Amino acid sequence: MSKDYKLRYEEWLNSAYIDEKSKIELIALGNNEKEIQDRFYKDLEFGTGGLRGIIGIGTNRMNIYTVRKATQGLANYILSKGKENKGVAIAYDSRNMSIEFSEETALVLNANGIKTYRFDALRPTPELSFAVRELGCVAGIVITASHNPAEYNGYKVYWEDGGQIVPPYDKEIIEEVNKIENFNQIKTISKEEAIERGLYNIIGKNIDDRYIEELKKLILNRETIEEMAKSVKIVYTPLHGTGNVLVQRILKELGFKNVYVVPEQEKPNGDFPTVSYPNPEDEKAFDLALKLAKKVDADIVLATDPDADRLGVYAKDVKTNEYKSFNGNMSGLLIAEYELSQKKANGVLLKNGALVKTIVSSNMANKMVKEYNIKLIEVLTGFKYIGEKIKEFEEENSYTYIFGYEESYGCLIGTYARDKDAISAVMALCEATAFYKKNGLTLWNQMINIYEKYGYYKEGLYSVTLEGIDGAEKIKEIMQRLRDNPIKNFGEFNVVAIRDYEKSIRTSLKDNKREKIELPKSNVLYYELENEEWFCVRPSGTEPKIKLYLGIKANNIDEAKIRLEKLNKQIIKLMK
């Protein structure tokens, strides 16, 4: 194996650009060859969304140097487009080093003559998306690693439409970042000079107020909220992240009286001391919230991830008096059914309306759109592609965006932002809780009603973590093996067709007919099974994982669990 990582390590140790504190961290590695290799064997990749990695010193880590490099590349791209006067909005979450990274980001942009609008304190990612368009910026940056463990941080880039960067901007920006080969190419400036030159600007309350007003416009049954606000009990946890202030504000302004915030998890803390993994997809993250819910007899239990774009949900089953969890498909479909049914009831459901979902999200949506006579549009995995569709609908004057969701606990109502928003999802679910409670139902009762109406669709996700150089090679090997050896069945689950999104080809196994897939190329294999069931495999774009998604359809909830487990067992065999 090449020893280039050793040379890079020595270069950082001897560079005048690297500060003494950083050098002490490197010296402390001593003879830990494996750690030195992992820190320096490559540059932290600026992917199609930005950066994400473990905090630390090294070329393959999140630190002020890798952040400056990424920002200089972005600055060069903005300058090449002549859009430096529009400025860049910057937000950050509660993670360790988020404040420092956000300030370094602003100062590099300022040194390149680009105005910045940095939030005065931590804010949710969806508010950053909103701010980009509200302020007329050319781009936005949020410092966050979303729901990753505490040792991670990240750097996510948005373009002037308020959505995450998509083709061709993503690849063009990546090219500019990759052109930065040494520290001499990176400009910076003191904060004092940047302020003096009018380049460094602080934003805050004014954007909050405008954001909250946009959320309130989405309410469908305000009178029901007013009627039921005193009886609905809500437990909420921000999991030490950014959601607390705005969630409490919107619920208070709507009139909800009984909002209980988990005290141990209310304050921002980048170490996330009460959870091992600050992810609302993880049932362990709800331990304290469920304890409080049982104490106060809550109707709904909600958790947002550190940057408040994902939402986890529990609701009571009155038959068993237990709290039932909702995965991302369930909560997304629950909100979708509420929005569509109430818009129809209120006479405001447009005929050219569209629901957008990712290819790995529940097929129940196919039935739902037929019920309400609207268009279903599928996009690749990643909410940025849903945001891209909103822009496309507006430019082409084709469809009216109503709702979008993905299985990974994210959704968006309305078009005020272009990324998933857990704040508005909290608002919508609390409104739905009030509506259904008035009609003698809990959210769990309503979820069962939805299953009875459309079918018992159930989905699962199985991830395999494969870290480092060897892990990356293993992921490549798995994907190649699956392409070279097309699978015809997973036990009793027969394959009808295979979609290879990297080759943009759908192949029917019945007659070997090949059709072109009209979506961007992506390293994804999707297996269409009989009975509307499916399996999909893809490497994660943000973590060292390969992800296995699956979906089944059954006649009742017990059968659904059995079928999902059967398919899951067959799929796990592929990884061995």
In sequence order, the 6+-apart residues with CB closer than 8 A to the CB of 365 are: 333, 336, 355, 357, 376
Measured from the Cβ of residue 18, the count of other Cβ atoms closer than 10 Å reads: 19
Residue 2, C-beta contacts closer than 8 angstroms, at least 6 positions apart? none
Dihedral in degrees, nearest 10, Cα atoms 2, 4, 7, 13: -120
DSSP 41-81: SSPPP--SSEEEEEBSSSTTSBSHHHHHHHHHHHHHHHHHT
Pick from 92, 22, 30, 118: nearest CA to 61:
22
411 beta partners: 405
CB 50 within 8 A of CB 71: no
Distances in Å between the Cα of 567 and the Cα atoms of 42, 177, 423, 561 are 37, 42, 34, 10
Q: How many CB atoms lie within 10 A of CB 486?
A: 13
User: Which residues, other chains included, contact 400 with Cβ-Cβ below 8 Å and sequence gap of 6+?
Assistant: 350, 352, 353, 354, 393
On the CB side of 300, CA atoms within 13 Å amount to: 33
Q: How far apart are CA 444 and CA 167, in angstroms?
A: 40
* C-alpha span between 260 and 248 (Å, rounded): 9
190 is written with which tokens? 């003191």
450-485 b/e with 16+ CB inside 10 Å = b?
Answer: bbeebbbbbbbbeebebeeeeeeebbeebbeebeee
Identify whether 146 is a catalytic site residue.
yes
CA–CA distance, 271 with 318 (Å, rounded to integer): 36
**Catalytic residue, candidates 98, 129, 146, 362:** 146
For residue 152, the surrounding DSSP H or E stretch is strand 152-159
DSSP-based three-state secondary structure for 141: strand
Task: Take residue 306 and report the two structure tokens written for it.
Answer: 């550190």
Residues known to be catalytic: 146
